[in-house]
Each structure stands twice: as structure tokens, then as C-alpha cells.
Homo-oligomer: A and B are copies of this chain.
Amino acid sequence: MRKLSRDEWVAGAFEALVDGGIDALRVEPLAKRLGVTKGSFYHHFDNRRALHLALLAGWEAIGTSQIIDGVGEAAVGPAEQLRVLAHRTMQVDPYSDAIENAIRAWAATDEVVAEAAARVDATRLDYVAGLLRSIGLPAPLARRRSNMLYRILIGEFMWRRAGGPATTKREIDEIVDLLIQPTT
């Protein structure tokens, strides 16, 4: 008889989220995938909602730091840091694409999720805006440009998830070059 920890359930839930979205994340099918019965699930969680919230908490924890961590060490100047950041976040990763999209779509119908997503977005945007200011853009312009880059990112995730071709490395460089322009 296999024994699972709570974290293993959450990890399995992320897998299920990837190929089906939050609505397809049901406890009995998930239990079958994990090789146990739902008796295990209801030992670790009060109900289905509790699993969803655990999932959300996990995403928020890694979603905030994952992208930013290590950028400062990987590159020296702010312009190069921005470039590294862009390449890292836009690299092809179907797993991340699916999760990011699933959470964001979920946010449309769940206030708690929307708030968590807003926190993650704010952290990322602040970081990028700070980089742009370091490059020399005035604060309001830096803010607008970071918003622009962030929309490109979200769009890229969703675009790829729907089956579209990924943005190439060369195009990413071009985007960064364009965004750090002080004027139009």
C-alpha cells in the first residue's frame, strides 16, 4: 500500500492542473493517477477547496521568486540583467505555460486567486521597473515599459499554450532593445 505525504498530493495536483485546468482537477481521478484512493486525500485535506488553496499558495511562493532569483548574479549591468530575465522567463517550458495560464484563468472567477495573482504580478513588475530605472529611464516611463513587457510575457505564455510558435531568442533581444529606448 503506497503512502503519500501532503506535498506529494500537491505535486500531483500541479501535474493534473497542467493537462486540464483547475476544473479538471478532481479528487477521485487524481487519486487514481497517484495510485491511491480518495481515502488518502481526505486524510490530508478537508475538501477539494483546500487542495486548490494549497496549490495556489505553492504557486505564489515560487512564482514570485523563481524568475527573479539569481538574475543579479548572472549578469552585471541592469540592461544585461533585463536581458537575462527576459530570456529566462520566455524560454519554452510547456509546464510553466500551463500553470501560469491555468492560474490566471482561474483568477477570473475566484477572488482569492485574483488577489494572489495580483501580488505576484506586482512583485515582478516592481522588479522590472526598477531595472529599467537603473538603465536610466524616468520612473513613469519605466513603469509603462514594464507593463508592456509583462503583457508580452503573459501573451507569450498563452500564445504558446494554444499551440503557437515561440518567440525566438533573437526576437527577445529585439524586444528588450526596443523597451530600453529612452524615447520614441
Contact = CB atoms under 8 A, between A and B. Distances in A.
Nearest to A22: B23
A109 B144 contact: no
A109 B19 CA distance: 7
Interface stretch (A1-9, A30-38, A46-54, A149-157): A149-157
Contact of A144 (B20, B102, B174, B184): B174
Instruction: Determine how many copies of this chain the complex contains.
Output: 2
Interface stretch (A66-74, A131-139, A159-167): A159-167
A60 interface: no
A108 B162 contact: yes
A123 interface: no
Contacts of A28: none
Interface in A97-113: 98, 101-102, 104-105, 107-109
Nearest to A163: B114
Contacts of A109: 19-21, 24
Contacts of A158: 104-105, 154-155, 158
Contacts of A171: 144, 147-148
